[in-house]
Amino acid sequence: MRILLTFVAIGFLHAQEVSQSGLELKAPRPMVSQPERAPKAMIASANELASEAGLSILRKGGNAIDAAVAVAFALAVVHPEAGNLGGGGYMVVRLANGTVRAIDYKETAPAAGHPGMFVNRLDSTVGYQASAVPGTVAGMALAHSRFGKLPWSAVLEPARRLARDGFPASQRMEIILALQVPVMKQFPESAKIFLHGNDQPLKQGELVKQPDLAATIARIQKSGWREFYEGQTARLIDRDMAANNGTIRYDDLKNYKAIERDPVKSTYRGNVIVSMPPSSSGGTTLIEMLNILETFPAGLGREGSVEQRHRMIESMRRAFRDRAEYSADPAFFPVPIDMLTGKEHARELARSILPARATPLPASAAGDAYESEDTTHFSVIDEAGNIVSNTYTLNSFYGSQVMAKGTGVLLNDIMSGFSNQAGGRNEIKPGKRPLSSMTPTIVLHPDGSAWFALGSPGSSTIPNTVFQVIVNIVDSKMSLRDAIEFPRIHHQNQPDRVDAEPAALIFDVAETLKSFGHKINPNFRSQGDVHAIMVEDGTGWRLGWSDGRRGGHARGY
């Protein structure tokens, strides 16, 4: 009993104050468990080896951007189900001086891409035609050239060594590879690395060596990032694509460009939200939900209640209706960012929320796009206070299953992220970026000082996952660990269904929501995989937590 009381007392020391509608609430929130803590720096990612690769760069004098590049390249080696050089994604950067920027390195459709190109929709998820032009190497290079400190070659070295020397396969790798066998065995280069050259997946503990990937990274180290797009690597990808009826050509690679953008910004109960702008739909959807929920008073102790869940569901419903209506690559269609992230639009939507009734909305044409849940996220903070929040993907597990011959590079299947139908904002067009839900986000205190950064995989559930973690921290005063582990729900207007993790809706809550008219799916097993860092109030120590749903690793020093 004495130990328990001491534990609760420690939690009370971390009490914070929250203000909404002019009311100051003082309510301590005891923590169930502590996140990782370190005095200088913290990295949270899906793999311990990748986190350690980033920390090694920080210890050598690199900053958070250098470490992020190291983590991204390392994940391509040790977390090949989603980490990648042959995919794409999004990065949000907040420098210690207050500067905030976003890097859009989403894949683009090749010149040969066109609506209706997939007779069988499955063809857009497997094989050579499923791949769009990769953006990861260009995106990492853009971030490094703008904000990095150490030489490019140095930040890639941990990944090269991991690929050359190998690492032990994890239990997760063994389980997921076993599911890939029927498809992956059709592609010799991938099977050579992951299936013992035939149909026998790697087992936990076996050494995973990737000599071709090590050689590719070495070329990129020596010749710079353009080697991937204009050098031997590009020629190898072009040759393998041409030999297998693929659509990516040398000129597609040469013409690829990562884009630096202004992040989308807003506030939630006074705290500053910085997230990813279009071409991702994630940041605008997240901010719209937060703005709608903000019109209602926060309440400590209401997490998981009928009242909170109903308001969250209705906020999701409205924001996802707008997402389906307006999301697009801004190079092809205008996106009304100011409206979607504006407080007045949110207030107008909030006025239509009824206190005890679901309000289904008409569907908006979204086409037949497919966005996989098999993505990954990492967050980094360094000693100076620079922060990186990065989400990237191959789309499905191991992408298209294709490893370009001679490169060791797994290629994405992001062509499935487009609508295969002609017309609409997400149809396939050369050079276009497909619909994405990725939501790398940084949250600042009202005075602009750093607080926390987070993101998640999970397809269309991503904005809702990030939304709920932010609300758990800001409104419910949860610790970083507890906010991430708390059960989640998902709703996106169409289909008109609330997916709920186990324990997300206790029996009485679920039954009451059903009486409101909500359709509950209680069989939804897991939502997201958040990797987050935080600056501890009062001490400045770095906190980190990697979601227990898939098993990641936060590490600091």
Quick one: CA torsion of 180, 192, 47, 103, rounded to 10 degrees? -90
Query: Per the residue annotation, which of 285, 375, 407, 439 is the catalytic one?
Result: 375
DSSP code per residue over 481-520 = HHHHHS--EE--SSS--EEE-TTTS-HHHHHHHHHHTPPE
Token code pair at residue 548 = 């227990």
* Lookup: tokens for 130: 């499923």
Please state whether the peptide bond connecting residue 495 to the residue before it is cis, i.e. omega within 30 degrees of 0.
yes
CA atoms within 13 A of residue 507's CA, in its CB half-sphere: 0
* Cβ neighbour number for residue 73 with a 10 Å cutoff: 30
Q: How far apart are CA 83 and CA 85, in angstroms?
A: 7
Q: Is 375 a catalytic residue?
A: yes
Two tokens at 450? 């750093």
Residues 348, 245: Cα–Cα separation, whole Å: 51
The SS3 of residue 444 is strand
Determine how many CB atoms are found less than 10 A away from the CB of residue 343: 14
From edge to edge, which strands make up the β-sheet containing 450-454? 36-38, 542-546, 531-535, 450-454, 441-444, 271-275, 264-268
Euclidean distance between CA atoms 89 and 139, whole angstroms: 8
Residues 58, 42: contact at Cβ < 8 Å?
no
Read off φ and ψ for residue 360, nearest 5 degrees.
Answer: -55, 140
Number of helical (H) and strand (E) elements in the chain, helices listed first: 18, 23
Please tell me the distance from the alpha carbon of residue 255 to that of residue 137, in angstroms, as a whole number.
Answer: 13
Q: What share of the chain is helix, strand, coil (3-state, %, to 5)?
A: 40, 20, 45
Q: Which two tokens stand for residue 298?
A: 């926060």
Cα angle value 299/303/308 (rounded, 5°) = 75
Both tokens of residue 460? 């269309």
Residues that are catalytic: 375
